[in-house]
Amino acid sequence: MNSNHIINLLSLLTPRDILDFKKIRIGAPNDGGYVVLDKLNPTQKIFSYGLSWNLAFDYDLAQRGHNVYMFDHTIESLTVQHPYFHWAKEGISTETDVLGPMSTLEDHLSKFAAQEKNIILKMDIEGVEWKVLEKAPLETLLCAEQIILELHDFRKIKEEAWYASAYTALKKLTDNFLLFHVHANNCAPIVLVDNIAVADVLEVSFVRKDLVTSTQSQTFYPTHLDAPNNVDAPDLALLFYPFLPTSSDSASFLIKNIFYRLNMQLEYRRLINEK
């Protein structure tokens, strides 16, 4: 796999600025908080996959009056309760296991939100998201107004199987949704793959294209709405392709990555000198 393939996949993560609605943060100020568009209404159902102990995002939405359908087969109970919480000890997969705790996204929506076209989907499932998104029918994804994801394992971008799944998933999303916010989870590193800067884990927010108008991004990430997931380390600046608010032609791509590589070298030298 050559660098052009990597660029092709990364180009699908070019953010846009939304003109119709402002962005707000829901959930915790650090880990457990996500950025959404401020077009929520309490009639929208929330489908939240991957919970662990941190339910700040779900709780904030329940407090706003949303029914929150929560799924995680790795926990025994919720750490917080709310009248609008609806939890099942089930995971999400590419096929339903009638004998086990796994169901597909389409099965869950059919069961809990049949015919609804305005759900909010949040998914943080530690790398399984690629296969789920790849296999989910488009008509199922289009039931969502906004999709909030944590995307994992970009360090694997040169692996053929990972790349194929990620590209198919992102292409399906970006053909129908706009990426309006991105944040690098600082619990994972920024790495160089073929001298291309890649954030290993990204928190991303999408909105369905038919609901908004947008323009080329003029936003630098992280923003004032963001905070480091790991409070003991600085947040990660996405000062490289495709996140900088500039055109994405090949010349600017090279310039951005040269500057980022220089910054990495300078930071490395600073750390060495401090020792």
Residue closest to 149 by CA, chosen among 168, 169, 163, 135:
169
Q: What is the pLDDT of residue 95?
A: 75
Q: Could you name the CATH architecture of 3-236?
A: 3-Layer(aba) Sandwich (3.40)
CA pair distance 28, 6, nearest whole angstrom: 33
Q: What is the pLDDT of residue 248?
A: 47
Per-domain residue ranges of the chain: 3-236
Q: What is the pLDDT of residue 268?
A: 46
**Residue 128, burial from CB neighbour count under 10 angstroms (0-12, 13-18, 19+):** middle
Q: What is the pLDDT of residue 135?
A: 93
Q: Is the dihedral of CA 196, 201, 203, 205 positive or negative?
A: positive
Q: Which pLDDT tens digits describe the chain residue by residue (275 residues)?
A: 678 889 999 999 999 999 999 999 999 888 889 999 999 999 999 999 999 889 999 999 999 999 999 999 999 999 999 999 999 999 998 876 655 688 999 999 999 999 899 999 999 998 999 999 999 999 999 999 999 999 999 999 999 999 999 999 999 999 999 999 999 999 999 999 988 999 999 999 999 999 999 999 999 999 999 999 999 999 999 989 999 886 545 445 555 555 555 555 544 445 445 54
Between strands 144-151 and 119-123, the pairing is parallel
CA pair distance 262, 51, nearest whole angstrom: 38
**Residue at token pair 């904030």:** 60
Q: In this predicted model, what pLDDT tens digit does every residue of 139-168 receive, in sequence order?
A: 999 999 999 999 999 999 999 999 999 999
Q: What is the pLDDT of residue 250?
A: 46
The model carries a pTM of 0.88
